[in-house]
Chain A
Amino acid sequence: MHGFLAALGYEGWILHALLWLPLVGMLSVLLAPSSRAKYLALGWSLLILVLSLGLWWAFDPATGNFQMYSSRPWIRPWGVNYAVAVDGISLFMVLLTTFTTVVAILGSFNYIKKYEKAFYALMLLMETGVIGVFVAVDLFLFYVFWEITLVPMYFVIGVWGGERRIYSAVKFFLFTAFGSLLMLVALLYLYFQARAATGVASFAYADLMQVTLSLREQMWLFAAFCLAFAIKVPVFPFHTWLPDAHVEAPTPGSVILAAVLLKMGTYGFLRFLLPFFPEAAQHPTVVTLMMILGIIGIVYTAWVAAVQPDAKKLVAYTSVAHMGFVVLGIFAMTVNGLQGGLVVMISHGISTGALFLLLGMLYERRHTRLIEDFGGIGRVTPWLATAFLITALTSIGLPGTSGFIGEFLSLVGTFEARPVMGIIAASGVIFAAYYMLPMVQKVFFNALEKKENREMDDLSPREIAILGPMVALMIWIGFHPTPFLSRMEASVVTVLERVQGVRANLPAPFGALGGVHGDGGEVVGYGDPQDAELSAVAEPQLSENHVPRGDEE
């Protein structure tokens, strides 16, 4: 496979293709007749998915640096480059995005009845935006994509949403825009600091990371970035936009929102927050605060979720709980914690996406989301119930599903760093059962009393085609997560070394028994001269695949 991809020059063009093909697809959707829009969109997203799958093999798990890097100047006077690359962290986010887009588009065939062209065009635009967020290694570019993603989501909620769609869309927009504006300010500060220090105007990731900042500066910038990401994640107490947005959003919107958009926040934590402001991020108070917020997210939102009458809102709150595990894992700053957090991100993307799809399927059949309107429908929809049960169990982290791997690793990582926090967070496994099982019971079990429920249809072939791969992924990751873990390990170690390299005297989490970080091996630090290539220096040829590591090719 690797050879085949190399023969295609895959590494050279794939990221650009992933970024721009959705836009091409969007144009074609807009130009084509309305009746073909969904099929065109599906075709394009499938093509993109298939192309992106090559990343799985083309990616070199041995290095924690950026791969498939390419860059060309965009706005020269400001040092803005169109620079893209992937590493073990963004790889899975990109794959998750391409996968989720297909699923979301396929899942909206029956749901979206009006302005179909616009809807599918926006979905493809969203794909570009999100992939851009994950592959950009220029902060200006990153910011542009970050904001682009707001627009389609705003319209998806506001146009195709439920009754209170305007309120929800505005709330979604205001919350996230507020955070990102603060981030922009911090970003510009960073940029001007870098320019003052080096004399070179550059928004490049590697350049901005080399800015030396005082602890005070770091704290403020950390706060600004952190707020932007925390709202997106969302971290308690910035989460209230999420339930509203989810409840009002159409199914595909919810799927994308849960599976991908939230990940942008935690991705930002990993990609920017920790490496840019290592001292602030490692400050004990900051760590404690973030962990407490993560734990509140896990425990408190589990409680809140448990008493929701609206199934979709319930799942929305569980999203907050899951992302709490991610926050916890990230701020544990241990290999286990970070990798666990990443797996939770993947797993949550699949399982919560699937839950929203399933709820959407129920909604299409019954036109209600209230739990009490259902009951006993496992009798008439055995397949749907089976898929729902598996997904729900993944969501609550049953061993043998992807949810367990993520939660277990992030909890282990948390426990290594802060045992008490780890113990409190582990109680989340109890509350997960407490919110999910009653809902499953009230919807699928109990007596089949209502006549409308009796007439519900089971899964259609299209729906099976959507859910099948998702369920398979949940179980695959549950039983064999190694291919995922091995691909992210080097990158995670790189991030950690960058973070902890700043404070080398950090106590070893294991004491005498040692060996936490395993064999980080020959991970090249960010200060290495090779990385200078990663910076703003103009790379005119877009096609030239410039990998910033010496050992390849």
Chain B
Amino acid sequence: MEGDVHGAHGAFEPFLPGLVILLPLVGFLLNGALALAAGRRSAEAVRQGREPDFMHGHERPLTHRLPTWIGPGVVGLAFVVALINFVRMMGADLHEPVIRTYWTWMATGSLKVEAAIQLDQLSMVMMLVVTGVGFLIHVFSVGYMGEDPGYPRYFAYLNLFVFFMLILVMGASFPVLFVGWEGVGFCSYILIGYWFTDREKADAGKKAFIVNRIGDFGFLVAMFLLYTTFGTLNFVEIFDQAPSVLVYGGGLVTAVTLLLLLGATGKSAQIPLYVWLPDAMAGPTPVSALIHAATMVTAGVYMVARTSVLFALAPAGSLAVALIGAATALFAATIGLAQYDIKRVLAYSTISQLGYMFVGVGVGAYAAGIFHLMTHAFFKALLFLGSGAVIHAMHHALHHTHSQADPQDMRNMGGLRKFMPITWIVMWVATLAIAGIWPFAGFFSKDEIIWYAGARAEGPYGQWYTLIWVACLAAAMLTAIYMTRLMVMTFHGRNRTGEKEAHHLHEAPPVMWVPLVVLAVLSVFGGWVNVPQAIQESFLGGFGLLPMAEWLHHWLHPVTGPAEEILTRYAGGFAHHAPFGGGELLWAVLSTSAALAVVLVSARVVSGIAYKPAHEDVEPTGLRRVLYRKYYVDELYDALVVRPVVRLSRFAWKIVDQGIVDGVANGLGYLARAFGWIATLFQTGSVNTYAFFLVVGVLVVLWRVAF
């Protein structure tokens, strides 16, 4: 079967794959240089007490014109190069990854890590997603960030992020992946805190970095374990040897996978390390779209898919992945129900959707996880960018009237569809996609994950998988609710911005809405790359639109195949019916109609609520307050982790270090001084006393000599 996918044949000839990584780096260097130059000028302005202003009054300087072309340009070029490689790979018969080694990165007597990239079907998909979605977001940024004084700096960061993200997805070994892994974390840090003079935003960036580092700790230890087990850290060698070296379900591989999972929860914002992502919304909205929705946060999913062999060998580890994913999906969705900040809703939605991906890769449906990663990248990027367009419009409107209202609070919006029809339409497309309504992209991917979760219900840990399946179904319904609520609150009903402000609301410029439209198209048709067999036969086959079903699955088969084989051999693979009976088709129809019904009902309900603008509103009570306050998890962490650590640190400094350790050292000094003081007691100044001690000394000597 797979032969069909890879079509015709012959070896895969990569086309300058290094260029994909190199181009964003070049972009970073160029933009970085421009940013440094611009930074000097704006610093001079600040010193003279003015706000730096590159936009008004005089012509836009070169430092703020060039990034418009460099920033999106390099990423676009990288996308083109990736596309060429993709086409070539499609035309080739590739079963083994192609490794391109550039130089020896670290080589000691025993450890050898090459600076190498790995080209296979998985990294190809990720490259396309990163550069493709990345390009669109870069283009959007030109409009969104155009008036920011730090424009070149922004693009430098963004390019750097793409650079690291590509290292992450293309690296051929764990350490190289780790470079990207931490690199994107760092970029996320500086981009969240992009407006660094705002304390809250800087705090959010710091929080993201530190929480990510907790995950990185797990990843590091997992690497050590793998290294001591295999003596190498290259993917190919480890995955080749793993089935023979590691025991299925053994302690070692379980430990490795759990540690990797810790890393993944940090990067992909899963329980318990998800807390940084909602705060990360402090960054510019395109950043949220790119990093905190489409690419970086999916790195954990990518990593699990990449190490699928290990996870397949560790059923407990896989179950943990799926459980955490399901729990997160449900948990975050409930919080999303009660948020008012448009970006926060989307942030919790992202966490929830990432939970789905975790369920996908956790239950062993690696292709399904990646599939959802891809479609999610489309529609969530669209949602974020759409919300960015809304915020942009709101910001300008509020700016004109010098209103202090929050441009991100949905209570201040309402009825925006009149002002921004394009945004309104594309946002609805994305909403339907994320709600899982046929034929939008989200339907195919989400449904597949839920299906596979249910299909594990008869194997080992069956009850758990049933639970996961139920949670996923519930979360899907919640998704439909909170997304509909978001749409209705933002675009429908009465306008709550205020009379004067409403005059200034207008649609985003083309440079912003064109990427939205492209993403909307992808959100509609993106799901067709992996139409389930059952649906293809019954719905689409008749139209002859798709040559084959489950294309992505087959495409990824060379990567995920070994894992699936292990799964089939040890765990019995997937059943052909859901836990309570029924085939794939039945459940697909059921879920999509249920979702549609939920959308319609909740649209009705939400429309009926009379929202007040934020400054007139009161804080909700009861359960809604708990949800609005995000279950008080931040407070909990603060009390259980942050404060104790700070207290411990103060204790370590004041009591242990200054008190005990330095106290002992100084105490020795004082002891010496005390001895000295005692010695001064003998220095009476009286000649007689001196003579006395002299005689005593003589006595001692005499006594020693004479006897």
Contacts and interface: CB of A to CB of B under 8 A. Distances in A.
Interface of A: 171, 174-175, 236-237, 239-241, 300, 303-304, 306-308, 334-336, 339-340, 376, 378-383, 386, 389, 393, 398-400, 404-405, 408-409, 411-412, 415-416, 419, 422-423, 426-427, 429-430, 432-434, 437-438, 441, 444-448, 454-458, 479-482, 485-486, 489, 492-493, 509-510, 513-520
Contact of B103 (A383, A404, A409, A480): A480
A482 B224 contact: no
A515 B110 contact: yes
A460 to B, nearest CB: 12
B657 A409 contact: no
Contacts of B179: 399-400, 404
Contacts of A455: 47
Given A481-B105, A489-B109, A415 B224 contact: yes
B175 A408 contact: yes
A339 B110 CA distance: 11
| A-B pairs with lowest CB-CB distance, top 3 | A382-B39, A335-B109, A518-B109
Contacts of A241: 665
Interface string B79-115: 0000000000000000000000001111111110001
B587 interface: no
A405 B106 contact: yes
B223 to A, nearest CB: 8
Interface in B196-251: 196-199, 202-203, 205-206, 209-210, 213-214, 216-217, 220-221, 223-225, 227-231, 245
A307 B649 CA distance: 6
A237 B220 CA distance: 28
Interface string B243-261: 0010000000000000000
B111 A386 contact: no
A441 B217 contact: no
B40 interface: yes
Contact of B652 (A175, A239, A304, A340): A304
A493 B110 CA distance: 11
B210 A336 contact: no
B522 to A, nearest CB: 32
Contacts of B669: 174
Contact of A437 (B182, B210, B214, B664): B210
B474 interface: no
19 contacts: A175-B665, A379-B42, A382-B36, A382-B40, A399-B183, A400-B183, A411-B220, A415-B221, A422-B224, A432-B213, A441-B196, A446-B197, A446-B202, A447-B198, A458-B40, A486-B107, A489-B109, A515-B231, A518-B108
Given A398-B182, A405-B106, A482-B104, A433 B213 contact: yes
A150 to B, nearest CB: 17
B109 A446 contact: no
A428 B661 CA distance: 21
Contact of B217 (A239, A340, A415, A429): A429
B370 to A, nearest CB: 24
Contacts of B182: 398-400, 404
Interface of B: 35-36, 39-40, 42-43, 46-47, 49, 103-111, 115, 175, 178-179, 181-183, 186, 189-190, 193, 196-199, 202-203, 205-206, 209-210, 213-214, 216-217, 220-221, 223-225, 227-231, 245, 645-646, 648-650, 652-653, 656-657, 661-662, 664-665, 669
B645 A303 contact: yes
B43 A382 contact: yes
Contact of A419 (B35, B49, B214, B224): B224
A439 to B, nearest CB: 10
A379 B653 contact: no
Contact of A445 (B36, B178, B196, B656): B196
A426 B183 contact: no
Contacts of B203: 441
A240 B217 contact: no
A419 B202 CA distance: 36
Nearest to B233: A412
A482 B646 contact: no
A303 B104 CA distance: 35
B43 A438 contact: no
A480 B102 CA distance: 11
A241 B179 CA distance: 36
Nearest to B231: A513
Given A393-B186, A416-B228, A304 B653 contact: yes
B228 A445 contact: no
Where chain A touches its partner, the secondary structure class is helix
Given A335-B109, A448-B46, A518-B110, A383 B40 contact: yes
B267 to A, nearest CB: 14
B103 A378 contact: no
A478 to B, nearest CB: 9
B224 A412 contact: yes
B211 to A, nearest CB: 9
Nearest to A417: B228
A447 B197 contact: yes
B220 A426 contact: yes
Contacts of A393: 186
Contacts of A518: 108-110
Contacts of B40: 382-383, 458
Contacts of A510: 228, 231
A482 B103 CA distance: 9
Nearest to A397: B182
Contacts of B104: 482
B110 A335 contact: yes
Contacts of A481: 105-106
Contact of A412 (B111, B196, B652): B111
Nearest to A304: B653
A346 B36 CA distance: 28
A446 B36 contact: no
Nearest to B185: A398
A157 B218 CA distance: 42
A441 B282 CA distance: 15
Nearest to B113: A408
Contacts of A379: 42-43, 46, 197
Contact of B109 (A171, A386, A482, A517): A517
A433 B107 contact: no
Given A399-B179, A429-B213, A485 B106 contact: yes
A306 B228 contact: no
Nearest to A175: B665
Contacts of B110: 334-336, 515-518
Nearest to A478: B179
B43 A427 contact: no
A2 B636 CA distance: 63
B661 A237 contact: yes
Contact of B649 (A303, A441, A513): A303
B206 A437 contact: yes
Nearest to B657: A304
A330 to B, nearest CB: 14
B217 A427 contact: yes
B224 A426 contact: yes
Contacts of A457: 47
B31 to A, nearest CB: 13
Contacts of B205: 441
Contacts of A386: 36, 39
Given A393-B186, A404-B182, A515-B231, 17 more contacts: A300-B656, A304-B657, A389-B190, A399-B183, A409-B111, A415-B225, A426-B221, A433-B209, A434-B645, A437-B210, A438-B206, A445-B197, A454-B47, A479-B115, A509-B228, A515-B110, A518-B110
A379 B48 CA distance: 12
B693 to A, nearest CB: 29
A454 B49 CA distance: 8
A393 B189 CA distance: 12
Contacts of A514: 231
Contacts of A422: 221, 224
Nearest to B196: A445
Contact of B657 (A240, A445, A456): A240
